[in-house]
Amino acid sequence: MENVDLHLHTTASDGSYTPQELVIEAAKRGLKTIAVTDHDTVAGIVPAMEQAKELDLEVIPGIEFTTYVDNQEVHILGYYIDHLDKTLSTKLAELKDARRTRGEKIVEKLNELGVKVQWQTVQEIAGAGAVGRPHIARALVEEGYVKEFSKAFDKYIGDDGPAYVPKTQLTPKEAIELIDEVGGIAVLAHPGLADNNEIVNEVIESGIEGLEVYYSKHTSDMIRKYVKLAKRYELLLTGGSDCHGPEHKGEVLLGTVKAADWLVTDLKEEYRAKNGINLIDFDKYLKLYPKTSGLYPEELQKIGKEYHQKGYLTKDELYNLAHLNSTRSSYHVKKNPAYRVKKVTEIVYQLDDEFSQLTLLVGLTGIGIPTASAILTSLNDTEHAVIDTRVWATLHQMGYFDVEKESFTADDYLRIMEIIRKLALETDLSTAKIGYALFAYDVEHREGTLH
Ligand SMILES: [Zn+2]
Ligand SMILES: [Zn+2]
């Protein structure tokens, strides 16, 4: 099957689709796996994943680093990066700041040259994204200093232009190391664009793990050349269109480079091997769940329904699932009386996004993690599973987390839910079933009390 596109931009960098639009468009085109790879930012990943939740579409977290060898731009893609990692966000903030300073410097130089382009115009064009030369070029067109976009580069801001300011430069090796540090796979983007053997060799020596062989602007000769090279150095193959959306040169590239799904399988295997992740036998532990939880999922659903019929809550699934956990044992019933469950769920559902909901829940005192974890199990509109220390412990055993934990932050919950959703897509089991299996595995393998 060829339904993969692993190189896509959103409005988080210089694309014209919002992350949500990108996901919707990708699903419309029948894609099954996409990677959001914005330039030097991970801001589009969470919104894209949120949008993909209800669709049969996997979003791989990615990034495209702008690096330099001498004056030549070299783009390094990072896949399966831990986009919630603090080291990464700090580094990206530094780079963004350096770019902003650079943009301001370019505008300053232009002003000195008598081109009075306004910094505010540039910022408005860039929106939430980092300011780059294309934004300045568009401002120059908008304010009538040049007729065409390309003239802005020819006349002023190109590499030999009078208003040129060099970038704060990241080398390919630095980008590869950073990607490595956050558990990702580093891939050389579109090697055929520059088609510079020396640079490609240098990047390979720096520890690149894959080549973006299939690319919208690669000729069949280039594809053959880089497939051969990848084989020689035992590198992964990846592919993507580099779609920047409909407002970019008038054509939508999304889905036009139909990469095969085995590329994703290989990428995933490499990611797991690198991070020491071993999958458990989901079917086996799913069967064990009724025994380990003390209650059958169907019974839990029934109990929730009964309480809903008494009219406690407006949002039945939510109440259902919150109550499921609170009735799982006498411990929870005592700790979480129905009126409190009701109150909490009502407040939580006034908030729109998952992160705020999680933050509020985690911050609540006197409610207790059990209720929080019960509410958080809304993996989608119809399915619920318990997310608690047992689930974390199993994911820890599988290699996803370095430490065991007793209480979670909102970030932790997001991580758990993301992993569960990913595993569900891969195994064709529902998210709830993955949750049950993870829970059962820990009961079978760990001593301890079961709430
Ligand atoms: Zn690129
Ligand atoms: Zn790109």
Q: What is the CATH number of the domain that holds 117?
A: 1.10.150.650
Pairing relationship of beta strands 58-69 and 72-79 according to DSSP bridges:
antiparallel
Tell me how far the alpha carbon of residue 74 lies from the centroid of ligand 1, in angstroms: 8
Which residues pair with residue 5 across a beta bridge?
A: 34
Question: Structurally, how many domains does the chain consist of?
Answer: 3
Tell me how far the alpha carbon of residue 405 lies from the centroid of ligand 1, in angstroms: 39
Asked if residue 343 is part of any domain, the answer here is yes
Instruction: Enumerate residues 6+ apart whose C-beta is below 8 A from 432.
Output: 297, 377, 379, 383, 384, 385
**442 near 394, Cβ under 8 Å?**
yes
Residues with CB under 5 A from ligand 2 (ion): 64, 242
Tell me how far the alpha carbon of residue 258 lies from the centroid of ligand 1, in angstroms: 18
Distance CA 431, CA 127 (A): 36
Tell me how far the alpha carbon of residue 104 lies from the centroid of ligand 2, in angstroms: 24
Each residue's pLDDT tens digit, 280-336:
999 999 888 877 765 555 654 554 455 445 433 334 444 444 444 444 444 444 555
Asked if residue 260 is part of any domain, the answer here is yes
Q: Is the domain of 264 the same as that of 412?
A: no
CATH code, domain carrying 76:
3.20.20.140
Tell me how far the alpha carbon of residue 128 lies from the centroid of ligand 1, in angstroms: 20
Asked if residue 20 is part of any domain, the answer here is yes
Tell me how far the alpha carbon of residue 75 lies from the centroid of ligand 1, in angstroms: 5
In 10 A of CB 97, how many CB atoms? Answer: 12
Q: Which of the listed residues 252, 275, 298 is the one where a domain comes to its end?
A: 275
Tell me how far the alpha carbon of residue 65 lies from the centroid of ligand 2, in angstroms: 9
Q: Nearest-CA neighbor of 262 among 236, 241, 227? A: 236
Each residue's pLDDT tens digit, 178-190:
999 999 999 999 9
Greatest Cα pair distance in the chain: 78
Q: Is the domain of 328 the same as that of 225?
A: no
Structural domain boundaries enclosing 12: 4-89+169-275
CA 163 to centroid of chain Cα atoms: 36
Share of the chain above pLDDT 70, in %: 77
Q: Is the domain of 220 the same as that of 313?
A: no
Tell me how far the alpha carbon of residue 7 lies from the centroid of ligand 2, in angstroms: 6
Q: Is the domain of 266 the same as that of 293?
A: no
Asked if residue 163 is part of any domain, the answer here is no
| Confidence at 390, pLDDT banded by 50, 70, 90 | confident
What is the average per-residue pLDDT within 109-124?
91
| Entry pTM | 0.73
Tell me how far the alpha carbon of residue 36 lies from the centroid of ligand 2, in angstroms: 10
**166 near 136, Cβ under 8 Å?**
no
Q: Is the domain of 208 the same as that of 124?
A: no
Q: Is the domain of 64 the same as that of 209?
A: yes
Each residue's pLDDT tens digit, 341-357:
566 666 666 666 666 66
Q: Is the domain of 220 the same as that of 369?
A: no
Asked if residue 162 is part of any domain, the answer here is no
Tell me how far the alpha carbon of residue 15 lies from the centroid of ligand 2, in angstroms: 9
Amino acid type, 241:
S
Asked if residue 451 is part of any domain, the answer here is no
- Tokens representing 31? 């894609």
Asked if residue 94 is part of any domain, the answer here is no
Q: Is the domain of 290 the same as that of 257?
A: no
Q: Is the domain of 270 the same as that of 287?
A: no
Q: Which of the listed residues 157, 183, 204 is the one where a domain comes to its end?
A: 157
Distance CA 14, CA 253 (A): 15
Tell me how far the alpha carbon of residue 37 lies from the centroid of ligand 1, in angstroms: 9
Q: Is the domain of 64 the same as that of 211?
A: yes
Q: Is the domain of 289 the same as that of 426?
A: yes
CA 404 to centroid of chain Cα atoms: 23
Q: Is the domain of 203 the same as that of 64?
A: yes
Q: Which of the listed residues 227, 248, 275 is the one where a domain comes to its end?
A: 275
Asked if residue 164 is part of any domain, the answer here is no
**136 near 146, Cβ under 8 Å?**
no
pLDDT at 236: 97
- Reply yes or no on whether the pLDDT at 202 is more than 70: yes
